Amino acid sequence: MKYYITTAIDYTNGSPHIGHAYEKVLADIITRYRRLRGDEAFFLTGVDQHGQKVQQTAEAEGVHPATYVRRTTKKFVKAWEALQVEYDDFAETTAEAHKKCVQEILQKLFDEGKIYKKAYKGHYSIRQEQFLTDKERNEDGEFGEEWGEVVELEEENYYFRLSDYVDWLREFVSNSEDFVIPAFRKADVLNAVERAVDTDLCISRPKERLQWGIEFPFDTNFVTYVWFDALINYISFAGYNKPEGSELPDFKDLWPAQIHIIGKDILVPSHSIYWPCMLKAMGFADEEMPRLLVHGWWNIKGGKMSKSLGNVVDPVELTERVGVDAVRYYLARDIHTGRDSDFDPDRLVMLFNTELANNLGNLCNRGLNMTKRYLGGECKESSYDDDLSKELREASSKTIAVYKEAMDRFCISEALEHTIKFITLANVYAEKQKPWELAKDEANLEQVTAVLNHMVEVVAIAAVLLRPVIPHASERIIAQLQADHLNSISLEDLAWGLIPVGHTVAKPKPVFPRITLEEPEPSA
């Protein structure tokens, strides 16, 4: 069984911004971490290409929606490439196999009486593409801003009998320990369950209003509501009901998904109400329900990032400016998974320069340089030992243990903090031992050797621990250590003693050149 990780699939009615990028980087880090743990992992991300918003934007630009989504999809693919987000498959909801899977599910649920048709007159939110009931009104009895323009509409549609599953869902969510991570979000879900009582879900849109969607197999006058279509990507691309000869994965190898990574805005009602009820209706058992890892939002100065405010951060442009390591490191380091954070470019620069350039970069540079200069690049045998060295070795096993514990809880920033503390300790160790002073007297050779071995060893351990977050930088450090075996070592085997006696290291090159946000001086 593989560890199956998915992200939300991004709407293709715009360009990727730093919020979308964060989620993909988070998923990529978790995937790489599972592989470091020795698990087989499968990472699915993609794009949500149907729906009214896409149809409207395409119309405004005077192109067919298919042309439009092809164009915007490329921007997402390009962004994830720039950010070294390496997924195993990329879900596009216009893919034939996905459409077929959605239609088969609709047909089956219809045949079983779980979908029915009825006429309905009511308030409709154009932005959210759904009918609203009084439960959606705020304290003043109004439909709040989040619903955008609300109009009165009467039409026939198909409904999914969501209300049949509400009692089951309440029970399931109440009893489950990890359906929603972090646990403090469970209360939001339980409140949303109560709002779903007696309400079925409208899952069709008449063709006169929306053409850009998956057609109903039993009524071609309708297309599928975008959420019903999009949620199914998690199983359609995992090989659910795949036809003979399909290249999709084997569903039983992936399902249940270990983790669906989503933002807090799409926890209710889509992922925690519609999705489990849809799965239940399809016949999935409680043990086959996925888990939801709900992350917070990146804001700008405490407020929302939005196109209209002109404060959207473009991840590709940022990466071109400061480099991919700095962007990935910042997105992992300056947010606590599940909570919101403020995107601050000055902190991005500061964290990269202090924690990577000055701290790890310096340790690597000094350790390797002195090994080259005093020991001809060889990590030699030494019988010297002292309390400071012992303390550093002990810190290594503690660091690996707490790192693992934090990463298992998806607390990436915490894991990084432990790693950085360990590197700082090694720099303090170097300052106290002063191998550059010791080396002036040949009688200290044993001690110099031991101290440099310790410094090099910490660099090696740190490079492995940082691999999920900054994979290419980790490879560059490992290349300087000339210790290729570390590129594939698993966390289980990670312990003091990675660099054997007699091993030769290369001359160091700066792995983390310091960055600045200033524009380069125009050339004269």
Minimum distance from CB of 263 to ligand MSP (Å)?
A: 2
User: Residue 108 contacts by C-beta under 8 Å, 6 or more apart in sequence?
Assistant: 282
Asked if 180 and 292 count as a contact pair (C-beta separation under 8 A), the reply is yes
Residue placing its CB nearer to ligand MSP in the complex, 91 or 326:
91
Tell me the CA end-to-end span of the chain in Å, nearest whole number.
60
Beta strands 378-379 and 503-504, pairing class: antiparallel
Residue placing its CB nearer to ligand MSP in the complex, 265 or 381:
265
C-alpha of 391 from chain center:
35
Instruction: For residues 193 and 186, give the distance between their C-alpha atoms in angstroms, rounded to a whole number.
Output: 11
Cα-based torsion angle of the residue sequence 498, 500, 503, 507 in order, rounded to the nearest 10 degrees: 30
Residue placing its CB nearer to ligand MSP in the complex, 18 or 368:
18
User: Residue 479 contacts by C-beta under 8 Å, 6 or more apart in sequence?
Assistant: 506
DSSP state at residue 178: S
Beta strands 115-125 and 150-160, pairing class: antiparallel
Minimum distance from CB of 332 to ligand MSP (Å)?
A: 13
Instruction: For residues 494 and 242, give the distance between their C-alpha atoms in angstroms, rounded to a whole number.
Output: 40
Residue placing its CB nearer to ligand MSP in the complex, 11 or 179:
11
Residue placing its CB nearer to ligand MSP in the complex, 48 or 457:
48
Residue nearest ligand MSP, CB atom distance = 263
Residue placing its CB nearer to ligand MSP in the complex, 270 or 389:
270
Instruction: For residues 396 and 230, give the distance between their C-alpha atoms in angstroms, rounded to a whole number.
Output: 44
Please name which of 80, 60, 65 lies closest in space to residue 9, comparing C-alpha atoms: 80
Residue placing its CB nearer to ligand MSP in the complex, 198 or 265:
265
Contact residues for ligand MSP, defined by CB under 6 A: 8-11, 19-20, 22-23, 48, 230-231, 262-263, 265-266, 297-298, 305
Beta strands 259-263 and 219-224, pairing class: unpaired
**Token pair of 99, please?**
């459409």
Cα angle value 227/229/231 (rounded, 5°) = 65
Asked if 419 and 465 count as a contact pair (C-beta separation under 8 A), the reply is yes
Residue placing its CB nearer to ligand MSP in the complex, 10 or 136:
10
- Locus of tokens 């979908």: 115
Minimum distance from CB of 24 to ligand MSP (Å)?
A: 9
Minimum distance from CB of 272 to ligand MSP (Å)?
A: 12
Instruction: For residues 146 and 141, give the distance between their C-alpha atoms in angstroms, rounded to a whole number.
Output: 14
Q: How far is CA 316 from CA 69, 212, 246, 301, in A?
A: 19, 29, 34, 21
3 state SS of 207: coil
Helix crossing, 412-433 with 324-333: angle to 10°? Answer: 110
Instruction: For residues 185 and 183, give the distance between their C-alpha atoms in angstroms, rounded to a whole number.
Output: 5
Q: How many CA atoms, within 13 angstroms, populate the side-chain half-sphere of residue 310?
A: 0
Minimum distance from CB of 502 to ligand MSP (Å)?
A: 48
Residue placing its CB nearer to ligand MSP in the complex, 339 or 485:
339
Residue placing its CB nearer to ligand MSP in the complex, 230 or 277:
230
Residue placing its CB nearer to ligand MSP in the complex, 8 or 406:
8
- Locus of tokens 């993909």: 24
Residue placing its CB nearer to ligand MSP in the complex, 299 or 444:
299
Q: How far is CA 171 from CA 193, 255, 259, in A?
A: 10, 22, 21
Residue placing its CB nearer to ligand MSP in the complex, 237 or 403:
237
Please name which of 416, 93, 55 lies closest in space to residue 210, comparing C-alpha atoms: 55
Minimum distance from CB of 136 to ligand MSP (Å)?
A: 18
Minimum distance from CB of 223 to ligand MSP (Å)?
A: 16
